[in-house]
Each structure stands twice: as C-alpha cells, then as structure tokens.
Chain A
C-alpha cells in the first residue's frame, strides 16, 4: 500500500519535463511487475487513479490503468473501467502516451473487450478513434488500434464511422512507434474490406482484400485465406471475373490459397459461363460452406450482379429490345421481372435506358456524359494532384532506399567492381541472343 502511494507521489512529481518523464518511465517499467501483482487490490489502484490527473500525469495514469485492466474485471467494475479509459483517452497527453505505445494499445484493447462484453460496442468507437489519432505520428501511419476500431464498427454496424480512418491512405508501417504486428496489418485489411463491403464500395474493399492476400508471408495465414474468399466474391460483383493474383504475391499464398477455398474457385468458374441457372445451382451446392464462412449474403449479391452484368451486355448490342426478349436472354422469370431490374438499374445510373410500357420495349441510350462539364475538369484535376502527390512519395522512397545502408552494401557485394559501361552491356547481350 505504501509503495503505491510513493509511486503516485513520484508520478505527480516527475510528470513535468522530458527528462523527468524518461526517468519516470524507467521507474514505472521496473515497478510494472509489482503493479500487475496488485490485481486483488482494485480498490487501491482505483484510489490511485483518482489522485492522478489523466492529462498531466498521462504516463503514470496509463500504467495504473493497465494494471487495473490486466486483472479480472467484474461486470459492475467494467462500467467504471470503460468510463475511466474513455476519459483518459480523451484527456491524455500525446507525448506521454507515445512513450509507451504497447501499454496504451493494451488499455484500448481491454476497453474494446469490455464494451463487447457489456454488448455496447458502439461506445468504443469514439474513444478508439481518438486513441488512433493520438498514437499516429501522422495519418499515414497504421496503428494496432485500426483493426480494433474497424472490428467495433462492424460489430456496431456503424460502417460509416469506419470511413474516418479508412479514407486515410495508409503507407507507413513502423513497429517502434506504434507497436504494430503483421497480424494487426492483416486484420486491418480484412476488417477494412468488410466495412467497405458493408458500404457497398466494392472497389476499395477489393483493394484492401488484395493487400491482405498479397502481404509478404512465409506461411499461410487464416486471415489471408478468409480475405481471399471475400476477394473472390467481391471481384465477381465488381468486375465479373477473378483476376490472377499479382506476381508479387508470396509464393506460399500463390500455391496454396486456392486449394483452401475450392468452393469459391468453382463458384467463380461457374460465374464465367454467365449462366444464371448454373450459378444458382452452384450457390445451393455450396450453401453450407458459404453459410459457415458468413459469406452467403455476398454470394447472393454475386448472383444479382450477374443479372446486372448480362443486362449491361445487352445494352452494348441492342438499341431496342422487348422486355420479353430481355427476360429470355437474361433468364428472368417474366417480362415484369425484367422491367423491375431495368428500372432499378436506371435509377442507380448503371444503364441508360427508357422503358416503353405500351409496346413493352426498352430503348437503350448512350451514356449522356459528355465529359465537358466543370465537374469532370475538377475531377481530373483532383486525380492529377493525387498522382503528383504519389509521385513525390515514390521519389522520396527511392531516395531513402538509395541511401539505405543495407541496400548499398548488398549492391556492392553483388557487383564488386561496379563499372557503368559493363552494366550497359548486359541487356544488349540478351537482346542479340534473341
């Protein structure tokens, strides 16, 4: 008990300058084990927490809070834990928190678990969001909390809330600053993809799933396999086909991932025949697997995307076509169904057409977009700016690599007597041999 009080006093005294904080951090690290052993004394720790100011004494507060969280928490204590953590996350000082990213992540994860336990995941969204911002050196950094926030958003079905972090492009991976692990990265891609699927932004979802599938790996990971399954289905919805995995996919994934998801591969091959009947049969045949993987809903969206795609193909071929003929070609049950489908597609802007109910004919029109509005010009400008930004990043990365010690020493080793002229000769030789 006394030791705790001494510690509290030290925290209060040493939360001023940077040097003091470093000293305090060392102290806290030494005492961490004994703090963890205070598990039984919840009361005592809570008492200490009350004496500390989350904003001024963030580092010390964090260690106490972590000790609080690492013990078993009863149902009624969990309420106080959640609110204390939320207040702490809100008020804590960024500089102090970043000194112990692992501890901070631990506390946040614990809070996430508690909100799930009390079945109020929505409560964790806002604190986690703030926590991510406090942990990130810039919005391009990925933190271990990203995946947690996305998971919470999925559980709370607040997909829009996920956008606030998803819309930042993630480039920077830094283990030291954020305490990130490869698993966190995979989970981020997986949950992020799912959130985008929930928002029906399939293109972005595909991008994230592809990150997960192509992440560097020596062994096959369950998250990668699940991401691949979703990748297949979302590819079908978005593009109507599953592209080959990119060249840079790790070979272990390249070789094995398909055999881990045979049902999906077969489903995709049925899709490529464009036959609705076959596809429906296939979905029935694999229903159990899809259901087990929680992908049945997505699979059903794949089927409706085939209707859409088949109708879109007709617009390439015909100027006018009767509803009857459409129903036949697309294998819809009746002209009425065809009309409904086309109506929905017109509303969503997926095709441009006019339905003539009197004759039962549909006239397909050309895309009215003429690409001469200000909007288009602005859109183009925006895209170009983005690309210029990316180009800068590439140049920066290139410079970094060419100054990288490991890279330079490797290059030097492979080519001991580096001679520019000799370097020129190599490709030419290959060329003449052709």
Chain B
C-alpha cells in the first residue's frame, strides 16, 4: 500500500509487492505476503507474493511454512518453485540437533542454578522455536525467562519477545498485558523501545476495536521507531493506522491538536502522503476528495493483515463523522448540495441522515418534500418542563411502591407455599 502511485485510479489496484515486503523483516514479511496472496483477487499479484514468500522462507529454517508455500503455489511458477525434500530434510536434521544441544545446555544451567545462564538458555530456545515457526513453544520459553530476569533491561527484552510472539499468534490480550508490564518497569528511557511499546499497544487496541485508544497510542509514537520494529510494523503503517483511527474517533479539536499539529506524528505522515492529504482534506471539509481518496486506498488497506477486519467499520465511522461535521454549522442544508459534496444520491443521503438522526448523532430534521435539512435546536425550557413532570411522576410511583412494600414486609406478608398459608 505504501507504493500507491498517482498515475490514475487503475494504478492503485496493483500493489508493489517488492516495495511492500522490503518494509518488513522476519516472519511478518512472510505472513503478510501470505495474507496478500490469500486475499487479493488478482492472480498475478498472488503469484508475485507467493514467489517472494518462497524466496524468503528459503533463507530461514521454517520447513512447515515452506511446505505450505509450495502447496499454495502448486506448479504455477515452474520447476524452480517445487518442494525440495532434500532441503527440508537437511534443515530438519540440523534443527533437531540444535534443539537437542540447546536443551542439554539449558539443563546444565538449571542444575548449576545460574540465573543469567538459564535466562539466556530459555531465550535461545525461544528464538529457535520462533525461527522454526513453533509459536506456542516460543511463547512458553519467553514467558519462562521472566523468573530469571534480574535487571529492568532483561524485563524489557522479555516483554518485547512475548509481545512479538503474541502478535504473531493473534493473542492481543497478552500484548496489552505485557505492554503495561514493560511500561511499569522503572527507567525505560530508550525512545525506540517506548515507540515499540506504543505501537504494540496501538495494535492491541485496534484489534479490540478501541479505535480512539489505538489512535492515541499511534499518534504518541516516537519517530525514533524507524525501521527498528520492522518484524511487526513499519513506520508507514503507524501513519495509516493512526491516521484512520484518528479520523474515525477524534473530534475536530483533537484532530487539530493531536494529529495535524503533532510534530512527531507529522514525520510519520510524510511517509504516507495520501493519508496526510486525507486528514487535511477532512479537516478542511473537502469531503468529496477525502472520501474519494479513501476509496482509492481501500483495496490496499484490505490487504493489510491488521487493518483488514476494521476497514469497513473505520470507513463507516469516518463517513458518519464527515456527515455530522458537514451539517453542524448550518441551520438549514440543501440536500442536493450536500449529496454533491459527498458524491451520492439525495435518496441515499436522506437514508444515511435519517439513521444518524435516529441515533441522536445529528440534531436536525429532514424536510423530505423540499429536500432540506433543518437543524433542530431543542427548547431547553420545554424539555426541562417535560423532564420535571416525568421525573416527578416516576418518583411518586417508586415511592408509593416502596412504602407499600415496606408495609407488606412489616406485616410479614409473604407469599409462601400453600401448606403454611393461614386459611
């Protein structure tokens, strides 16, 4: 998605897989490529992604993934992309030896009870499992190092490892747990680490659909992040996720103070000019171009492993926000003009507005005959009178019920089984 060129709407369709993949390292690169291959509708893109994934996997030692990619490719990419049993066997053999060696070492450390060595041993084992793709085992090993951490540096390292594995596993509850653990550790000064934690927290909030929280975390992310967290997230992603979540959940003043005037976040936005333009368009009330731009971005966002699930909700919320913001300053709005601004039909717009009014998000009423929206200013005096009368009668009702009940209880007037009831 980071490579959208401006040469026309057709250009957005095709994702530059090379450029995209180069933003990430490690396992996430492979997983993201797989995700693209699974979700794209274009066969050429699918094959590109798979080819890259194949090459990438060959560099590592994850034979399970290798089998998977070969199966996905089938025989569509010619003879050089077939199952290489020799390679698998040799990698598996080497891995088995290494595992044996690591476990032996760890046992040795354990008998000697050297804390630091045990920690290192578990860490090595965790890394080994991670590289081999056994995430559950890796998670267990990393969590076990926790008992042997002696300095805050160790704790941070442990947390980051667990966060990484949990993100891969999709266990975002663990992610937010360990982020808060890491944040509570004293003297965490390194801005890059703080930035990583922010990103992880942002991702966790995003996954649990807490968009406002996610936006806050992403927006607070320090630009020191650079590509240091490329095994999880690229700085471009921070801009996209943060920007979209902010649009969907921040109000106008927050958008201005926390996003547009935010110098750190501006650095991220520079990496994603489309998102930057989007936010500025939205803030400057150029909704047509903003929504158009969003539509252009959509196909690529749908190929993003984290954003995929949330694109529709976020888009809907952004659209609602735009509609609400558009109507806000006016006493009356001509629906025809408004429909033009949102490039939609009057009938469709009317339905959308009606839904928003029913949800009490817009205080207005629609003159369907003349196609005009009138702002509705609630008469506070009248509503107060209404409320007073209603509250009064409710209070009387509740009090009467209470007094009656108190008397019932005092007289021991309780419905019992028939046997005990006095005739």
Contact = CB atoms under 8 A, between A and B. Distances in A.
B108 interface: no
A217 interface: yes
B422 A181 contact: yes
A219 B401 contact: no
B393 interface: yes
Interface string B353-397: 010011000000111111000100000011001001100110111
Contact of A224 (B393, B415, B422): B415
Contacts of B410: 173
B382 A219 contact: no
Nearest to A393: B403
B392 A383 contact: yes
Contact of B416 (A210, A219, A319, A390): A219
Interface in A53-112: none
A359 interface: yes
A185 interface: yes
B371 to A, nearest CB: 10
B423 to A, nearest CB: 8
B96 interface: no
Given A219-B415, A318-B366, A169 B421 contact: no
Nearest to B406: A397
A367 B382 CA distance: 9
A369 B379 CA distance: 11
Contacts of A210: 401
A217 B388 CA distance: 34
A380 interface: yes
Contacts of A397: 403, 406
B404 A211 contact: yes
A429 B368 CA distance: 59
B113 interface: no
Contact of A216 (B366, B388, B396, B409): B409
* Central interface residue in B365, B395, B404, B408, by most chain A CB within 10 Å: B404
A347 interface: no
A371 B384 CA distance: 10
A216 B407 CA distance: 11
Interface residues of B, number: 39
A318 to B, nearest CB: 5
B406 A319 contact: no
Contacts of B392: 383-384, 387
A318 B351 CA distance: 11
A306 to B, nearest CB: 15
Contacts of B153: none
A252 to B, nearest CB: 9
A182 interface: yes
A221 B403 contact: no
Interface stretch (A159-167, A229-237, A320-328): A320-328
Contacts of B365: 316-319, 364
A71 to B, nearest CB: 20
A431 interface: no
B369 A320 contact: yes
A214 B405 contact: yes
A215 interface: yes
A186 interface: yes
A387 B415 contact: no
B414 interface: yes
A361 B396 CA distance: 41
B367 A319 contact: yes
Interface in A278-314: 313
* Central interface residue in A169, A186, A317, A390, by most chain B CB within 10 Å: A317
A272 to B, nearest CB: 14
29 contacts: A171-B400, A173-B408, A174-B411, A175-B411, A182-B413, A182-B414, A207-B401, A211-B401, A214-B401, A215-B405, A216-B405, A216-B408, A216-B415, A219-B415, A221-B415, A248-B405, A318-B367, A319-B374, A320-B368, A320-B370, A359-B369, A363-B369, A364-B365, A367-B382, A371-B382, A371-B385, A380-B388, A384-B392, A394-B403
